[in-house]
Amino acid sequence: MTLRIDCSRVRWDDIHVKESHPKKPLDKHIKEVKNFYEELRSLFRIYRIDDEIDLLIDLVIQYHDMGKLHPRWRVGKKGARHSEYSVLWLLCNRDSLNRTLNSYSICRNGFIKTLYMLIFKHHSTINLTPPSVKDHNLRKVFSNDMIWHDYYEYIKNLDFKDRIRLADLYGLFKIADILSADPRYIENRDILQSPTPIKVEDVKYIVSNGGIDKERWIEQTALKDLNNLALLRAYTGWGKTTASLLYTVDKEPVKIFYLLPTITAINKFYEKLRS
């Protein structure tokens, strides 16, 4: 089914001039997102295999903010939703997308509709709930059940590993988008640094800030000899949170995630690590 869109009334702004963020033209933002995305892939060791999933996320990055070229959209102006305008831009500039896709013969049914969905919802939750669409052109597109059917079928027909990979890469894109949008991250790139291996001496230094219990420390150092899957149970105050860092010694993790019950606990542990 061909989607008929009236593009004659829209005069898109210049990508090299129109700001996507304060003092940043859109083309610069897209380049930054691409660079951050590649750095994050390298950091998390998610290597390119140049398959359809790689292509899909590359296209999301390339086109996700093209809606900001719509004359109704301005930095700081509320009401105009650039994500839906980005889909409209794609529909009005199909030649640009087709030129990219012509060199690929691997795109399965539903690929384009999935691209629309990932762009449309790149600032919200990905699900099968029809979005609330303001632009009258896009209402015709997203009221079409085939959009949802093709998107659902595309995701459903991916094998499990590809679904996980798609979720991982889409998440890295969203992080890269945030990093480019906030100038603090442009100046401070610690988040993209390769992880420093944790040593027993480092953990001992952190633990010893409040004085060290030698007998307990002997118990705690046993954590580094645990297998890849382990459950630690100990009484309150034993030092589970800090000592659990020992579990990662010699395992070379890419990242370590902590789930703590309160903001206070998170801040306290963060400051302890920084010191």
**Per-residue model confidence (pLDDT) at position 206:** 83
Confidence of residue 62 (pLDDT cuts 50, 70, 90): very high
Task: Find the range with the poorest average confidence among 125-139, 162-176, 189-203.
Answer: 125-139
Using a CB cutoff of 8 Å and minimum separation of 24, what contacts does 4-7 make? 4/140, 5/88, 5/91, 5/92, 5/137, 5/140, 5/141, 6/137, 7/88, 7/91, 7/92
The count of residues in the chain is: 275
pLDDT tens digit string along 144-166? 556 667 888 888 899 999 999 99
Mean pLDDT of the chain: 83
**Per-residue model confidence (pLDDT) at position 144:** 58
Alpha-carbon span 238 to 247, nearest angstrom: 15
Angle CA 133–135–136, to nearest 5: 105
Question: Tokens representing 86?
Answer: 């980005």
Q: For the chain, give the percent of residues with pLDDT over 70.
A: 83
**Per-residue model confidence (pLDDT) at position 34:** 96
pLDDT at 2 over 60: no
Rounded mean pLDDT, 34-38 = 94
pLDDT tens digit string along 66-108? 999 999 899 988 766 898 899 889 988 888 888 878 776 666 7
Give the global pTM. Answer: 0.71
Using a CB cutoff of 8 Å and minimum separation of 24, what contacts does 199-208 make? 199/249, 200/224, 200/246, 200/249, 202/245, 203/242, 203/243, 203/245, 203/246, 203/249, 206/242, 206/245, 206/272, 206/273, 206/275, 207/239, 207/242, 207/243
**Per-residue model confidence (pLDDT) at position 1:** 47
pLDDT at 247 over 60: yes
| Mutual angle of helices 52-63 and 160-181, in 10-degree steps | 20
